[in-house]
Amino acid sequence: MDKAQQDALKKAAGIEAAKIVKNGMMVGLGTGSTVRFLVDELGRRVKEEGLSFTGVTTSRRTQEQAEGYGIKILDINEVDHIDVTIDGSDEVDKNFNGIKGGGAALLWEKIVAINSDRIVWIVDASKVVDTIGKFPLPVEVIPFGSAQVIRKFEKRGYKPVLRLDADGKEVRTDENNFVVDLHMERIEHPQELAKDLIETVGVVEHGLFLNMVDTVIVGDPNGPRTLTNPNK
Ligand code: 5RP
């Protein structure tokens, strides 16, 4: 699939997911290129249909985009509930285990997600996989002592790579942390890996989102299709 095709499928998933948002809702807005299409469509509905809802965002980028459309955004500390969060994902398997954090927003994304009544992911068809792990697993790490954390990951065979930007500088998250990507290729035991990562001092959060998502809207060449998690 080339990028133009992939973008078309992302856009279709985003437009489909925008239908979930109703007047008066509190909506978590994820991060990434698929979510950009979602927010564009929500912005259109605000303008053309008078849709009125409040958002909580998972990154400064999404906040800027949403506010540009006149969507009211609240700080997560100010809200008492979130009806639904719609976010992208880098991979998702048949057990509804996924990898997130390709856009370095995994920490805020997970905080918003776990405080949401319902979680919806929007993906193009290439992201639905048998086994997660081909997409490098992002781990958010405190800069202090990060080289020690990377050494530990190397010893455990996780194949860590510190994420750098185009200028060769460490990528910083919205919390000013680093991102280390684990090139594991196949993650056969995600629960065990998640436990090991979160128990490593210096790790703030990892991009394994295990059995958290309720609904996945897949942009498919035949039109968007919806996968429903039976275990939720
Ligand atoms: C950002 C994320 C994104 O949701 C994920 O990387 C998918 O991005 P895209 O929609 O651009 O493919 O987790 O941290």
Residue 145: give its domain's CATH number: 3.30.70.260
Let me know if residue 57 belongs to a domain. yes
pLDDT at 232: 86
| Whole-prediction pTM | 0.97
**pLDDT tens series, the chain, 232 aa:** 899 999 999 999 999 999 999 999 999 999 999 999 999 999 999 999 999 999 999 999 999 999 999 999 999 999 999 999 999 999 999 999 999 999 999 999 999 999 999 999 999 999 999 999 999 999 999 999 999 999 999 999 999 999 999 999 999 999 999 999 999 999 999 999 999 999 999 999 999 999 999 999 999 999 999 999 999 8
164-197 burial code (b ≥16 CB/10 A, e <16):
eeeeeeeeebbeebbbbbbebeebeebeebbebb
CB of 91 sitting under 6 A from ligand 1? no
| Residue at 108 is within a domain | yes
226: in domain: no
Most ligand 1 atoms within 8 A of CB, residue of 65, 100, 122 to mutate:
100
The answer on 213 and 163 residing in a single domain is no
Our answer to whether residue 109 is catalytic in this structure is yes
Ligand 1 centroid–CA 123 distance in Å is: 9
Phi, psi of 123 (to 5 degrees): -140, 160
Same-domain check for residues 150 and 187: yes
The verdict on 29 and 140 lying in the same domain is no
215 and 162 belong to one structural domain: no
Domain that holds residue 80: 1-126+209-220
2: which 2 tokens?
């080339």
Are 151 and 185 found together in one domain? yes
Instruction: Give the helix ranges, DSSP H, for 82-189.
Output: 106-114, 146-155
Residues contacting 159, CB < 8 A, separation 6+ = 153, 182, 183, 184
* CATH code assigned at 94: 3.40.50.1360
Number of residues assigned to the chain: 232
Cα–ligand 1 centroid distance for 36 (angstroms): 10
Q: 51 CA to middle of ligand 1, Å? A: 25
Amino acid identity of 167? D
Q: Are residues 67 and 141 in the same domain?
A: no
Mark the binding-site residues for substrate, compressed into ranges. Answer: 31-34, 87-90, 100-103, 127
Q: Kindly give the pairing relationship between strand 84-87 and strand 119-124.
A: parallel
Question: Which one-letter DSSP state was computed for residue 83?
Answer: S
Overall number of domains in the chain: 2
Give the closest residue to 159 by CA, choosing from 138, 179, 181.
181
Domain check: are 27 and 48 in the same one? yes
Are residues 178 and 80 both part of a single domain?
Answer: no
